[in-house]
Structure 1
Amino acid sequence: MYEDQTYEAILQRMLDRVANNVDKRTGSIIYDALAPVAAEASQMYMELDTNLNLSYADTASEEYLERRTAEFGINRKPATKSQRKGLFYTSGDVLIDIPVGTRFSINDLNYMATSKIKTGHWVLECEIAGVVGNQEFGTLLPIDYVDGLGRAELTEVLIPGEDAESDESLRKRYMIAINEQPFGGNASDYRHKINSISGVGGTKVTPVWNGGGTVKITIITSDYGTPSQTLIDEVQTLIDPEVNSGQGIGLAPIGHKVTVIGTKNLNINVSATLTLAAGVTPGQVKNDVEDAISSYLLSLRQIWGNESVLIVRISQIESRILAVSGVLDVTNTLLNESVANISLTDEQIPVLGTVSLNE
C-alpha cells in the first residue's frame, strides 16, 4: 500500500515545499537537513506496510497469524510424537512382554513403551516430537535392562508424529472455517473437528450413507498414507464411540451414528516406452522416473480431502517422465495395463506399484 513512499519520493516532496529562491541542490544546507528526515519517514512507511500485512489473515505470519486465527477458536497444531509398534522376542524368537516405561533407541532417536497391544506387541512413543519419529524402522537397542529380551524391532507407524503446523496450513484451516461456517454436525463441522485430531491429514464426509442419521467418515493420515487401525479407533472413539453410537457421547451430535474408516491404497502400475538420449539406458533413468511418478501420486494424496474424485492421468505421468534427464520422448503409456486414466473411489488413494520401461 505504501510502495510509492520511497526515500526519493518523500525527499522530493519536501524539497518542492521549499521556496525556489533557496539552494536545494545536493549538498546544500536545506538538502542535507531534509535528507535524514526523508530516510526516517520512508523507513516508517515500510514498517507501516509490514504491520498492515500482519493484521490480516491472508498475509500475516507466525504469532500474528496465530493471534488472528485464535480469535475464532482456531489454534496452531503443536508438534506431536509418533506412536509406533514395537515387537519384542526372547533369544528363541518367542514374543515376550516388557515393563511399561522401558526405553529403546534406534540411531539418534529414543522410544518409550507406553501400552500393550497384545503379548510381545507394544505401543512405543518417540521422545522427540515431529515427523522424524515416523522415519526409522528396524532393530531397537534397549536403554533399560529387560530380563529375557533377545531382540526388539520397531515396525509400523500407528499414529504419525507431526511437526508444528505451518503458517500455510493454519491459514488454510482458518479460511475454510470462516467461509464454510461449521455448525451443528454439518459436513464442514465434521471435517473441522476431525482434521484437528493428531495424525489425521484429511477427511471425507459421506452423509446418510446407510440410512437416515448415518455418517461415514473416511480419513487419511497426516503423512498422506493409509491410517492404522489404532488411529481409526481413536478417531471413532472421539467422534462417536461404537458402544454408545448415536447417543452424543462423542463429538458427533445426538442421533448421528458415525462410522470411521481409513483410506485404502490402490497400486498404480505404470509401463511406458521411452526414447532416450544417446548412451542412456532404461535402467539408468528408472529410479528418477519412479521418483517423478511417486511425487505426482503424493500430490494427489495431498489434495484427496478436497477433491470429490481423484483421477490419475496418463498425461500428467508422461509430462513428469519427460522432465527426467535423459528422456527424449515417451509413448505407449499404460496405467494398470490400460490406456485410460484411473478414477479413484472416495476410499482409495494412489500409490506407486511397478514401473516397466521399454526402449
Structure 2
Amino acid sequence: MYEHMTFEVILKRMLDRVPNDVDKREGSIIYDALAPAAAELAQMYAELDIILNLSFADTATGEWLARRTTEFGIERRPATKARRKGLFYGSGDVPLDVPVGSRFSIGGLNYRVIERLTAGQFSLECETAGAVGNQQFGAMLPIDYVAGLSRAELADVLVPGEDEESDEALRKRYFEAVREQPFGGNVADYKQKIGGIPGVGGVKPFPAWQGGGTVKCTIIAADYNPPASALIDEVQTAIDPVQNSGQGLGLAPIGHQVTIAGVQGVTVNVTTTVTLQSGVTLGQVQGEIESVIRDYLLSLRQMWADEDNLIVRVSQIEARILTVDGVTDVAGTTLNGVAANLELQSEQIPMLGTVTINVG
C-alpha cells in the first residue's frame, strides 16, 4: 500500500504544490527546503508498510505473528527435550542399573537418567531442548561417578526433541484452526489435540474405522520417522488412557474409543545408472547422490499427514540426482527392483535402504 511512496514521488507531489513562477530546480531554495522533509516522509511510509504487513497473519513474522495467533488461543510451541534410551553395562557386559538423576555426556550434550525401563536400560532426557538431542548415538561418558559402570551407550530415540515452532508451521496451524474449526471430536479436533503433544510430527485420524464411535489415529514422530512405542503409549494415555472404554477419561470425547498407532516404514532400495563427467569418479558423487535421495524421501515424510498416500516417483529421484555436480545423465532407476513409481498405503512412509549406483 505504501511501497510506492518513494522519495521521488513524495518530493514531486510537494513541488507540484509550489507555484510555477518559483524556481523549483534541484539546488534551488524551495527544492533544498522540501527534500529533507520528503526523505523523512519516504522513510515513514516504508516503516508504515512494514507495520501493516506485521498486522496480518499471512505476512507477519516472529513475535508479531505469535501475538496475532495468541489472540485465537494458538501459541507458538516451544522447543522440547529429546528422550532417549540409554544402555548401561558393568564388567563382563552385564546390564547395570544406574541411579535415576545421574548424568552422562556425548558430543557436547548432557543427558539425565529419568526412568528405569528394564535391567540396564533407562530413559534419558537431553538437557538441551531441540532436535539436536535426537542426533547423537554411541558411547557416553559419565558426568557423575557410577559405581561398577564400565560402558554406557546412547541408543534409540524414544520421544524426539523438537526445535521451537517455525513461523510457517505456526501460520499453517493458525489457518487450519481458524478455517477448520476443531470441535467435539471432529477430524480437525483430533489433529489439533494429538498434533500438540510433544514428539508428534503429524497425525491421520480414521473415523469409524471399526464401526461407530471407534477412531484410529496414526502418528508420525517429530523427526518424521516411525514413532517409538514409548511415544505411542504416551499419546494413547493422553487421548484414551483406558483404551476403548469410551469413558472420556482422556482428551477424546465421551463415547469415542480411540486407538493410537504409528506409521509403518517401508524400505526403499534404489538402483540407478549414471553417466559422469570426464575425470569424475563414482566415489566423488556417491555420498551426495545418497544425500539428495534421502532428502527427497524426508520431504515426502514431511507431507505424509496432509496426503492420502505417498508416491515415491522415479522421475523425482532422477531429477535430484542430475543436480549433483559431476553427473551428466541418469537412467534405468528402479525402486525395490521395479522400474516404476512406488505407491505406499495411507499409513506407510518411505525409508531409504540401499543405494546401488552403476556407471554407464
Q: Quick check: TM above 0.5?
A: yes
Matched, 1:40 2:45: no
Q: Structure 2 vs 1, CA of residues 342 and 71 (structure 1 numbering), >3 Å: closer, same or farther?
A: same
The equivalent residue for 1:335 is 335
The alpha-carbon deviation at position 42 of structure 1 amounts to 0.9
| Partner of residue 190, structure 2 | 190
Partner residue of 2:208? 208
Q: CA deviation at 1:277?
A: 2.0
Match of 1:159 in 2: 159
Query: How many Å separate the matches in 1 of 2:251 and 2:314?
Result: 41
* Match in the other structure for 2:247: 247
The 1-side partners of 2:272 and 2:316 are apart by 13
Q: Alpha-carbon deviation of 1:179?
A: 1.4
Aligned-pair CA distance for 1:282:
3.2
Match of 2:114 in 1: 114
The 4+ residue runs of structure 1 with deviation greater than 4 A are none
Shift of 1:104: 0.9
1:295 correspondence with 2:295: yes
Q: How does 1:1-359 map to 2 (within 5 A)?
A: 1-243=1-243, 245-358=245-358, 359=360
**Other structure's SS at 2:248 match:** coil
Aligned partners of 2:319 and 2:242: how far apart in 1? 46
CA contact (8 A) 2:244 2:257 kept: no
Measure the CA separation in 1 of the matches of 2:176 and 2:273.
Answer: 43
TM-score, scaled relative to structure 1: 0.97
Q: Which moved more, 1:17-26 or 1:52-61?
A: 17-26
1:222 Cα offset (Å): 1.0
Q: How many residues align?
A: 359
Q: Distance in 2 between matches of 1:91 and 1:348?
A: 42
Percent identity over paired residues: 64
Aligned partners of 1:110, 1:282: CA distance in 2, in Å?
39
Cα distance in 2 for residues equivalent to 1:285 and 1:163: 31
SS in 2 for 1:254: coil
Q: Could you tell me whether the CA contact under 8 Å between 2:242 and 2:249 is conserved in 1? A: no
Structure 1 residue runs without a partner (length 5+)? none
Q: State the 1:244 CA deviation.
A: 6.5
Structure-1 separation of matches of 2:226 and 2:244:
26
Residue type of the partner of 1:189? D
TM-superposed CA distance for 1:192, in Å, is 0.9
* CA distances 1:204-240 after superposition (whole Å, capped 9, x unpaired): 1111111211111111111111110111011111111
* Matched residue type, 1:137: F
- C-alpha deviation, 1:200, in angstroms: 0.7
Q: Per the alignment, in what secondary structure is the counterpart of residue 81 of structure 1?
A: coil
C-alpha RMSD of matched pairs (Å): 1.2
| Secondary structure, aligned partner of 2:91 | coil
Deviation of 1:148 (Å): 1.3
Q: Note the C-alpha offset of 1:107.
A: 2.4
- CA gap of 1:152–1:177, structure 2 versus 1, over 3 A, is same
